[in-house]
Structure 1
Amino acid sequence: MNHNTKRRVANDHLAIIVAMDRNHLIGKDNRLPWHIPEDLAYFRKVTLDHNVIIGKNTWLSLGKPLDRRTNIVLSRDPDFHPRGCIVCHDIRDVLSIVNEQTSFIIGGASVFQQFVPLVGKLYLTRIEAVFEGDVYFPDLDLNQWTLLSYETQTARSGFTLAFETYIRN
């Protein structure tokens, strides 16, 4: 047994996927502050055929379940039962349902805040611009993470996107 191997506390099967601007802005009026098809395509490619974990307000902004994904909505409202979704009332419920299945936390801010200590992987899309909005990604110490991949792309809109993937140290 190698005693130098660090034991990871985080769940390797849990990941956050999020797009943010230079100031870590992620939302405005319960919507994305931008429309960048290249980022939406990346999000779809990464999350397709996996679980997505989403807060109630973010789910309501979408209006329907994301196709070809198991939609797990985190809500404290016992009367909330959207069609085509699994509703969980706390993180323990979510973790018991997803077990070891690859699952992506997709927002909003309070759900990200709850899951940051638990996830083993981050998929960050950084948009090299500043937008107006009212919701920001929680503070994140990237010293606790190792960059696995980095790719840039210029969107048709002219924005530069940086797709970054990290694993927890």
Structure 2
Amino acid sequence: MTSPNLTIVVATDAQRGIGINNTLPWRLPEDLAHFKRVTIDHPIIMGRKTFDSIGRPLPNRRNIVITRNPGWKHDGVEAVASLQAALDLVGSTLTHVIGGAQIYAEALPHTSRLIVTEIDRKFDCDTFFPAIDPNVWKEVARDKHHSAEQGFDYAFVTYDRI
């Protein structure tokens, strides 16, 4: 069942790559600032590997980590065993899913909005975001930019479920 208050936030390269060796393959401070603006003051749901790559709870957000390890704990984080358990915790509150690939794939059918930073360059990635099906998703906003420092174009793109 789709939740009107569940949004995926992701940055992808030109081949839908999202990471390599549990890290971002690019450096784009503008995307990190955008991510902060979008997620601040809202719950965020992530997998344990994504949390490990960040290394700490993100401030001014309710951090919910999905893990198969029932003994896993971290200060400032609520640990749950499944996406459904995370969704039960947040109820009808606007919530953002922030990775990784397995959590994105699991959350996609429940999601009503995608906020995607589309980077117009191919990077060496070992993890990918699912294809955005135009029969399911409609682009409703595109904000184009160029990173002079990095030498590539990117866009903040919003998709709503049709």
In the alignment, the residues of structure 2 paired with residue 91 and residue 151 of structure 1 have an alpha-carbon distance, to the nearest angstrom, of 30
Q: State the identity as a percent.
A: 37
Determine which of 32, 38, 43 is the counterpart of 1:40: 32
Determine which of 17, 22, 35 is the counterpart of 1:25: 17
Q: Is the 8 A contact 1:150 1:162 kept in 2?
A: yes
- What is the TM-score normalised by the length of structure 1? 0.92
The runs of at least 4 consecutive aligned structure 1 residues that moved more than 2 Å come to: none
Deviation (angstroms), 1:109: 0.3
Matched, 1:121 2:117: no
In the alignment, the residues of structure 2 paired with residue 107 and residue 52 of structure 1 have an alpha-carbon distance, to the nearest angstrom, of 9
Q: Is the 8 A contact 2:83 2:103 kept in 1?
A: no
1:67-90 residue CA offsets vs partner (Å, 9 max, x unmatched): 111100011100101110011101
Question: What's the secondary structure of 1:35's corresponding residue?
Answer: coil
CA RMSD in angstroms comes to 1.0
Within a 5 Å distance, the mapping from 1:1-169 to structure 2 comes to 9-155=1-147, 156-169=149-162
Deviation (angstroms), 1:30: 0.2
Q: Is the 8 A contact 1:10 1:168 kept in 2?
A: no
Deviation (angstroms), 1:139: 3.0
In the alignment, the residues of structure 1 paired with residue 138 and residue 124 of structure 2 have an alpha-carbon distance, to the nearest angstrom, of 30
Name the count of aligned residue pairs: 161
Question: What's the secondary structure of 2:18's corresponding residue?
Answer: strand
In the alignment, the residues of structure 2 paired with residue 84 and residue 166 of structure 1 have an alpha-carbon distance, to the nearest angstrom, of 31
In the alignment, the residues of structure 1 paired with residue 83 and residue 12 of structure 2 have an alpha-carbon distance, to the nearest angstrom, of 24
Question: What's the secondary structure of 2:109's corresponding residue?
Answer: coil
Question: What's the secondary structure of 2:124's corresponding residue?
Answer: coil
Please say which structure displays the higher CA radius of gyration.
1
In the alignment, the residues of structure 2 paired with residue 61 and residue 124 of structure 1 have an alpha-carbon distance, to the nearest angstrom, of 19
In the alignment, the residues of structure 2 paired with residue 107 and residue 117 of structure 1 have an alpha-carbon distance, to the nearest angstrom, of 15
